[in-house]
């Protein structure tokens, strides 16, 4: 009995933190329409800054809290002013979402450099002895957490519903244009919402620190939990967010104590997916304005890369092919071939992602989930049932296709931001299954996976693997480029720009979307299988949610929607860290920074920027052959 | 006086307005008519700070406001009631009204806020019983009244109305035109954009025909109504929809409502 009470109490404390996170999401979203994926960072950052001020600067607790609040709210405001505000209305919604993901990675990388990978904790604020309430043993810190949550929630509720300032803030979220006309300074309100959300994170981080231990890796977890909570409650719904957070905390706690902690994460994610698909406004949400269906608006229609003259393209492709064929010969003895192979594996996954996100405009934050499905299916079949690797790979592909069909179907109902959350949840779900199931051998990873083999031939040497992997990359790239240039590719682009419009033109968006999902999943799945075979080992972290974000970064840095470009991103972000260990520790920070900088200033990525430079110098080339990137082509075809 | 001098404006790289000039005197009604897409709403957007002109100057009572954010325009006494109502659907009617006075709220005590709301209710008594309900649950006509009422809360000296009668029943249109007349008599300058060109011209002191971002014909309302070009290009001769007996009768009643 009292045990259940203790479980409930722990759940309530965690739920309180989730509630603060969810409210942070809701605040920013309702004022600006932005899903702030960096929200979870502020919990961890708040806790770490608080920790340092207390233990290193020897400030008193209240002073340290004020200090952390000051530093991080100011930081959030500056980022809003410097990066996010100018980006609003300039870059597409898809890119905005990825930009926020970039901030998450950036903060992770920054915290890793500043605080290392050690987890930190503090003693309770007051009295280390738990207080007995009836038969319950309540840690004193729990009072601090619950008290803070209560004060913040009541205060915010009052502020938003009773004060003019709060009403003005809500007006911004309802109709920014009309709000501007009332003389409400909308940009300033957005800035305030970001700062306020950061403050909520800092408060949560500071009060929870004594009850847990935090390191840079917890940022993504908090973002994920906050997202689940806010989606359950209804994004943009204040009370829904609070209730969603508390419910999630309590349910999770009961499930993990009485059933299993694996099931608790997996179950909450399954529930989330169901809610997203069938009730995207949340359990408590009421359908609200147009924000619910975030379609791509006309703004910043994404980057249109100038196309290359086919003759030059063919020539370059030929040179590249010859180069690829000779590369192992050149690299003989350098030991670099392994890094080249891993790069190739990621190229496969990114080619698919580019078609899905870059061309069809469906953000996927969980693409590594398909790598995990492919890798684990093939790996487990090979290790436990001695199934031939090629057959295991195909089995993985089959499973991935089945899941992609499901996700694709979901994407018919769920769009924009909600789709992004769904894919994120899918990726975490797969990761949590990888960690929790015994068949995968949990976090320790699956050992003893054989080499890839086909018929009697075993791909044991790196050179053999090289030709296998890069052969597949060439085939996949060829298929993707053909698809992009075909009629189907134009339909996908049209869908990206304006789904309703594309439908009105008779584009079967459902079919194309699902096809894009399946294509990308097949490639990711094969990549995952090859990953497992080439390492002869697979762990959930290798194909977890961080890997999904990595894939996204490679895509953006290389040049989203440019077909060939993303491969540059892979080379930059896979090959270099593989080669140099000292670069590896800066990887996260650099990745986040690049994601932010490219999305904000160079939406064409490396490839697009280079192409633009080249085409500016010799615009005659592409003028003659604007092929598939000519936006007016659609109209011309519709006219024909 | 609100003066617009050679304003060029557009969205992104495209230019919609190509050198628009006009003036709005206090206590007058100026009508802006033109086909769909001519740029009428764009004119209003540049006059309320929503859209920054690419070229040209706009001054309110001698103070240049070109390029300033909308808040400055509201404070200078310009209120823009946008096309399509745009009320805050999930806020109550009372809160919608209150936010209309946002730029002045810091200066207003609870008493004065109350007074302003009452003034608006005197103009639109229909809103009285609805103060506590969510604006989204009002009927279209009531929402339009709320939108105008919200605009009046800042006690503007210049009121920009974008298609106030769109989709409204004749009686409601009549109410709104009566309000326009009263505001004009109180010295408010009104820039009126109307789908129903005949109605707008009938009540306007001055009128401009906007075609593809350029003012092509200007004159008094009556002059434009009689102008061959305007009738042919815009009002449409012999169009059965425009020349029915009902609009004529309505225009007559409206003229009377305005006291002319
Ligand atoms: N937000 C916008 N972004 C891009 N172009 C716009 C935008 N708003 C209007 N336009 C374009 O500007 C031109 C003028 O539009 P505007 O809304 O001013 O016309 P209008 O005269 O008010 O028409 P209506 O009578 O239909 O309201 C149109 O060609 C329109 O396509
Ligand atoms: Mg208009």
Q: How confident is the model at residue B236 (pLDDT cuts 50, 70, 90)?
A: low
| Ligand 1 atom closest to the CA of B35, numbered from 1 | 25
- CB within 8 Å: B88 and A289: no
Domain co-membership, A292 together with A314: no
- With 0-12 / 13-18 / 19 or more C-beta atoms within 10 angstroms meaning exposed / middle / buried, residue A464 is middle
Give me the phi and psi of A352, to 5 degrees please.
Answer: -65, -45
Domain co-membership, A279 together with A323: no
> In terms of residue numbers, what domain contains A345?
310-613
Place of tokens 């299954």: A433
Q: How far is A566 from chain B (nearest CA, A)?
A: 29
Query: In a mutagenesis test of the B interface, which of A163, A175, A182 is the best target, namely the one with the most B β-carbons within 10 Å?
Result: A182
How does DSSP assign A518-583, residue by residue?
Answer: HHHHHHHHHHHHHHHHHHTEE-GGGGSHHHHHHHHHHHHHH-TT-SSHHHHHHIIIIIHHHH-HHH
A476, part of any domain: yes
- CB within 8 Å: B74 and A182: yes
Cα A172 from chain centre: 27
B101 → chain A, closest CA residue: A182
pLDDT tens-place string over residues A494-522: 666 666 666 666 666 677 788 888 999 99
* B37 Cβ below 6 A of ligand 1: yes
Show Cβ contacts of residue A191 under 8 Å, excluding neighbours closer than 6 positions. A77, A80, A81, A85
- CB within 8 Å: A185 and B71: yes
The list of chain A residues with pLDDT below 50 reads: 287-303, 621, 627-628, 630-640
A386, part of any domain: yes
Domain co-membership, A461 together with A606: yes
Q: What is the pLDDT of residue A192?
A: 94
**Quick one: DSSP state of residue A461?**
S
Least confident among A127-141, B55-69, B124-138: A127-141
| Partner-chain residue, chosen from B50, B75, B99, that has the shortest CB–CB distance to A177 | B50
Domain co-membership, A40 together with A102: yes
Cross-strand pairs, A469:
none
Domain co-membership, A266 together with A412: no
What CATH number was assigned to the domain covering residues B86-157+167-188?
A: 3.40.50.300
Domain co-membership, A29 together with A150: yes
B80 → chain A, closest CA residue: A181
Show Cβ contacts of residue A213 under 8 Å, excluding neighbours closer than 6 positions. A119, A120, A121
A118, part of any domain: yes
A637, part of any domain: no
Indicate the residue among A296, A324, A359 that finishes a domain.
A296
Q: What is the pLDDT of residue A60?
A: 93
- CB within 8 Å: B88 and A184: no
Q: How far is A224 from chain B (nearest CA, A)?
A: 29
- Take atom 10 of ligand 1 and give the residue whose Cα is closest: B11
Q: What is the pLDDT of residue A634?
A: 47
- Take atom 26 of ligand 1 and give the residue whose Cα is closest: B36
Domain borders along chain B are 86-157+167-188
Contacts of A281 in chain B (CB under 8 A): none
Return the H-helix or E-strand segment holding B60.
strand B55-60
Q: How far is B24 from chain A (nearest CA, A)?
A: 19
- CB within 8 Å: B88 and A288: no
Domain co-membership, A22 together with A144: yes
- CB within 8 Å: A177 and B98: no
* Cα B162 to middle of ligand 2, angstroms: 7
- CB within 8 Å: B86 and A175: yes
- CB within 8 Å: A174 and B88: yes
pLDDT tens-place string over residues B196-212: 778 888 889 999 999 88
- CB within 8 Å: B69 and A180: yes
Q: What is the pLDDT of residue A294?
A: 37
A631, part of any domain: no
pLDDT tens-place string over residues A535-586: 999 999 899 888 998 899 999 898 887 778 888 889 888 877 777 777 777 8
Which of B40, B46, B165 to mutate for ligand 1's pocket (most ligand atoms within 8 Å of CB)? B40
Decide: helix, strand or coil at residue B206.
strand
Vertex A158, ends A156 and A163: CA angle to 5°? 110
B97 → chain A, closest CA residue: A182
Quote the CA–CA distance of A64 and A53 in Å, as a whole number: 5
A540-555 burial: b if 16+ Cβ within 10 Å, else e = bebbbbbbbbbbbbbb
Indicate the residue among A265, A296, A327 that finishes a domain.
A296
* Cα B15 to middle of ligand 1, angstroms: 11
Binding-site residues on chain B for chain A (CB distance < 8 A): 48-50, 69-71, 73-75, 79-80, 82, 86-91, 95, 98-100, 102-103, 105, 150-151, 154
Domain co-membership, A509 together with A375: yes
CB A548 within 8 A of CB A371: no
**Quick one: DSSP state of residue A81?**
I
* Cα A640 to middle of ligand 2, angstroms: 31
Domain co-membership, A252 together with A327: no
Binding-site residues on chain A for chain B (CB distance < 8 A): 164, 167-168, 170-171, 174-175, 177-185, 288-289
- Note the pTM of the prediction, 2 decimals: 0.82
Place of tokens 């950052």: A45
Quote the CA–CA distance of A148 and A144 in Å, as a whole number: 6
- Take atom 9 of ligand 1 and give the residue whose Cα is closest: B42
A133, part of any domain: yes
Quote the CA–CA distance of B122 and B126 in Å, as a whole number: 9
* Cα B103 to middle of ligand 1, angstroms: 28
Quote the CA–CA distance of A379 and A386 in Å, as a whole number: 9
What count of Cα atoms within 13 Å lies in the side-chain half-sphere of residue A141?
Answer: 19
A635, part of any domain: no
pLDDT tens-place string over residues B3-58: 999 999 988 778 899 999 999 999 999 999 888 888 999 999 999 999 999 999 99
* B212 Cβ below 6 A of ligand 1: no
Domain co-membership, A148 together with A267: yes
pLDDT tens-place string over residues A173-223: 888 889 999 999 988 999 999 999 999 999 999 999 999 999 988 998 899
Quote the CA–CA distance of A404 and A544 in Å, as a whole number: 17
* B165 Cβ below 6 A of ligand 1: no
A89 → chain B, closest CA residue: B12
Structure tokens at A204: 């949560």
Q: Does position B167 have pLDDT exceeding 50, yes or no?
A: yes
- With 0-12 / 13-18 / 19 or more C-beta atoms within 10 angstroms meaning exposed / middle / buried, residue A197 is buried
CB A223 within 8 A of CB A38: yes
Domain co-membership, A529 together with A591: yes
Domain co-membership, A242 together with A381: no
Quote the CA–CA distance of A241 and A281 in Å, as a whole number: 11
* B38 Cβ below 6 A of ligand 1: yes
Q: What is the CATH number of the domain that holds A246?
A: 1.10.3470
């Amino acid at each position: 009995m009292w045990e259940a009470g203790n479980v409930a109490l722990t759940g309530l404390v965690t739920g309180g933190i989730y509630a603060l996170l969810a409210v942070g999401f809701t605040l920013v979203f309702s004022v600006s329409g932005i899903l702030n994926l960096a929200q979870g960072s502020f919990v961890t950052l708040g806790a770490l800054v608080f920790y340092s001020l207390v233990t290193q600067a020897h400030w008193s607790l209240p002073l340290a809290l004020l200090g952390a609040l000051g530093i991080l709210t100011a930081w959030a405001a500056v980022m809003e002013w410097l990066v996010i505000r100018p980006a609003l209305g300039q870059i597409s919604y898809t890119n905005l979402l990825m930009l926020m993901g970039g901030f998450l990675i950036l903060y992770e990388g920054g915290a890793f450099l500043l605080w290392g990978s050690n987890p930190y904790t503090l003693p309770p604020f007051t009295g280390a002895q738990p207080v007995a309430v009836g038969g319950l043993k309540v840690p004193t810190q729990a009072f601090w957490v619950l008290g803070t949550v209560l004060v913040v929630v009541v205060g915010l509720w009052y502020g938003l519903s009773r004060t003019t300032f709060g009403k003005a803030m809500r007006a911004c979220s309802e109709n920014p244009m009309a709000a501007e006309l009332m003389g409400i300074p909308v940009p300033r309100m957005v800035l305030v919402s970001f700062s306020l959300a950061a403050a909520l994170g800092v408060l949560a981080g500071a009060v929870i620190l004594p009850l847990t231990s935090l390191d840079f890796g917890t940022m993504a977890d908090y973002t994920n939990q906050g997202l689940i909570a806010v989606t359950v409650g209804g994004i943009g719904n204040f009370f829904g967010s609070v209730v969603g957070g508390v419910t999630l905390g309590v349910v999770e706690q009961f499930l993990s104590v009485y059933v299993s902690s694996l099931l608790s994460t997996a179950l909450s994610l399954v529930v989330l997916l169901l809610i997203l698909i069938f009730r995207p406004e949340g359990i408590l949400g009421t359908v609200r304005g147009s924000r619910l269906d975030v379609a791509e608006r006309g703004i910043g229609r994404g980057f249109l890369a100038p196309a290359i003259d086919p003759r030059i393209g063919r020539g370059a492709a030929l040179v590249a092919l010859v180069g690829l064929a000779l590369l192992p010969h050149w690299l003989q003895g350098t030991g670099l071939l392994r890094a080249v192979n891993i790069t190739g594996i990621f190229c496969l996954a990114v080619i698919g992602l580019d078609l899905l996100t870059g061309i069809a405009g469906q953000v996927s934050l969980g693409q590594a989930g398909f790598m995990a499905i492919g890798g684990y299916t093939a790996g487990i079949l090979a290790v436990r049932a001695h199934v031939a690797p090629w057959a295991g790979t195909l089995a993985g592909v089959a499973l991935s296709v089945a899941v992609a069909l499901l996700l694709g179907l979901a994407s018919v109902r769920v769009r924009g931001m909600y789709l992004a959350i769904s894919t994120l949840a899918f990726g975490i779900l797969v990761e949590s299954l990888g960690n929790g199931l015994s068949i995968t051998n949990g976090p320790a990873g699956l050992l003893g996976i054989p080499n890839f083999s086909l018929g009697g031939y075993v791909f044991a040497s790196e050179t053999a693997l090289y030709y296998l992997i890069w052969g597949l990359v060439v085939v996949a790239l060829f298929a993707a480029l053909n698809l992009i240039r075909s009629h189907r590719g134009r339909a996908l682009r049209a869908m990206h720009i304006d789904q309703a419009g594309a439908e009105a033109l008779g584009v079967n968006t459902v079919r194309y979307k699902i096809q894009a999902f399946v294509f990308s999943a097949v490639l990711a799945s094969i990549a995952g299988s090859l990953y497992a075979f080439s390492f002869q080992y697979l762990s959930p972290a290798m194909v977890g949610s961080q890997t999904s974000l990595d894939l996204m970064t490679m895509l953006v840095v290389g040049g989203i929607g440019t077909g060939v470009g993303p491969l540059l991103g892979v080379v930059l972000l896979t090959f270099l860290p593989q080669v140099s260990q000292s670069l590896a520790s800066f990887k996260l920070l650099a990745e986040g920074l690049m994601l932010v900088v490219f999305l904000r200033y160079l939406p064409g990525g490396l490839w697009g920027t280079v192409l633009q430079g080249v085409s500016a110098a010799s615009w005659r080339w592409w003028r003659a052959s604007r092929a598939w990137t000519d936006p007016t082509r659609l109209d011309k075809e519709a006219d024909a | 006086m609100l003066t617009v001098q050679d304003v060029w404006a557009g969205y992104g790289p495209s230019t919609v307005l190509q050198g628009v000039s006009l003036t709005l005197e206090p206590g007058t009604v100026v009508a802006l008519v033109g086909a769909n897409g001519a740029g009428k709403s764009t004119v209003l957007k540049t006059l309320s700070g929503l859209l920054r002109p690419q070229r040209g100057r706009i001054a309110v009572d001698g103070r240049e406001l070109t390029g300033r954010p909308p808040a400055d325009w509201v404070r200078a006494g310009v209120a823009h009631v946008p096309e399509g109502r745009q009320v805050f659907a999930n806020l109550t009617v009372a809160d919608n009204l209150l936010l209309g006075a946002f730029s002045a709220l810091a200066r207003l005590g609870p008493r004065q806020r109350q007074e302003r709301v009452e003034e608006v209710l005197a103009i639109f008594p229909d809103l009285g019983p609805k103060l506590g309900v969510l604006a989204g649950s009002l009927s279209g006509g009531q929402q339009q009244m709320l939108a105008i009422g919200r605009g009046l809360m800042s006690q503007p000296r210049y009121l920009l109305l974008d298609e106030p009668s769109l989709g409204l029943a004749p009686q409601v249109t009549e109410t709104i035109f009566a309000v326009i007349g009263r505001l004009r008599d109180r010295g408010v300058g009104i820039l009126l954009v109307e789908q129903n060109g005949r109605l707008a011209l009938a009540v306007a002191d001055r009128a401009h025909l906007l075609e593809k971002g350029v003012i092509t014909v200007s004159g008094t309302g009556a002059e434009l109504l009689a102008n061959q070009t305007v009738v042919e290009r815009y009002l449409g001769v012999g169009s059965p929809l425009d020349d029915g007996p009902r609009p004529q009768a309505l225009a007559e009643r409206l003229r009377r409502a305005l006291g002319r």
